[in-house]
Structure 1
Amino acid sequence: MNSPTPVGVRLRQVFLSRGSHCALSAAEEIVTLQTLLTRIDTGKWPATDPGRMNAAARAIGPEYQAPLDFLSGADKAMPPAFTRHDPPATLRPAR
């Protein structure tokens, strides 16, 4: 009987260092989707470190670099903002 695959092997989370809800650019969305499709097609995760993800998003082109800003409606280009996120062991104080 095979042992179950640990969740950490199957799960990847990417984080952006940018304020506002859903403030991601089309380039960041495309790179994230390409990464997921690679995992589906090959069964293995490609590199998901922020440096690789940011480089891939920059390579898509300047016309895809503007995050949607729901509050102001602005659509100015911004550099990709993938970042490493290490949450604390507990997210809220214990009672």
Structure 2
Amino acid sequence: MGVCDQLEQELVGAQAVNKAYKKHLEQVIEYHSVEKYRSIVQENREAAATAPLKFSIEEGYGDKIENPYGMHSNSSSSNLSLSSKKRGILDEKN
């Protein structure tokens, strides 16, 4: 067996070790990423469970729809009339 054959076998062995180590590192990184994600989700759930709600439907914040024209609407029929007003404005410009 020559020197070249011996070096080639060492190279193949080193490449195999390199491939196995790279795979191991990818698994470790993935595991730590998943664990970090789980801990963040858990912290967010705990924070959400203890945080007071800013708005509630009982206080009337959840039932009003504010549109950019300053009008308040609770029904879709007024939204339709707003749409027709918009169309009228567009028709006048054309």
TM-score, normalised to structure 1, is: 0.20
Instruction: Pick the structure with greater CA Rg.
Output: 2
RCO (CA 8 Å, sep 6+): is it higher in 1 or 2?
Answer: 1
Higher helix proportion: 2
TM-score, normalised to structure 2, is: 0.20
